[in-house]
Amino acid sequence: MAKKFNGVEIIKKIDKALDEATAQFLTNTQSKLSAASPVDTGRLSSSWNIGKGQPDLSAPPENVGKPSERVTVNGTSFKVEGTNTVDLRVKPFAGEITYGGTWYISSNLPYTYRAAYDPYSGRRGGGDWFTRIENSLSKDIDRIFQRALSQIK
């Protein structure tokens, strides 16, 4: 018995899968950047924004807390974590994320570039945190889109 092929329905499923995969890729990448960002006051970590058609140039408020500092006690140096007076969180994209268009993930802080590429500014193995995320993007996008498209029946 022949199975009826419904091209319109298949196209709708493909479009939905592409939209969902795009949203997952963008939010996962934004979360990775936020989690891996060096932390002083938490401002950089919460500054990664998703923009459609152009970068989102907004930035979290300044002077929201006391930055981390080094304290020396009896010749031993300790890092004292800063305190935040404002709850800093990653800002979710306000609209609907769809497959079409040009998407950006950006940070508009003046020290983002230095924190991303300076081996002495970063944490978790130095300043290569940004490069590791950047280098994994093609694998991430392949995995996410293949999984989404494989669900279409």
16/36: higher pLDDT: 16
pTM (2 d.p.): 0.78
Contact between residue 26 and residue 48 where contact means Cβ atoms under 8 Å apart: no
pLDDT reading at 16 higher than 90:
yes
- Show the tokens assigned to 107: 């940070």
pLDDT reading at 136 higher than 80:
yes
pLDDT tens digits along 72-97? 666 665 555 555 555 567 888 989 99
> Which range has the worst mean pLDDT, 18-32, 82-96, 107-121?
82-96
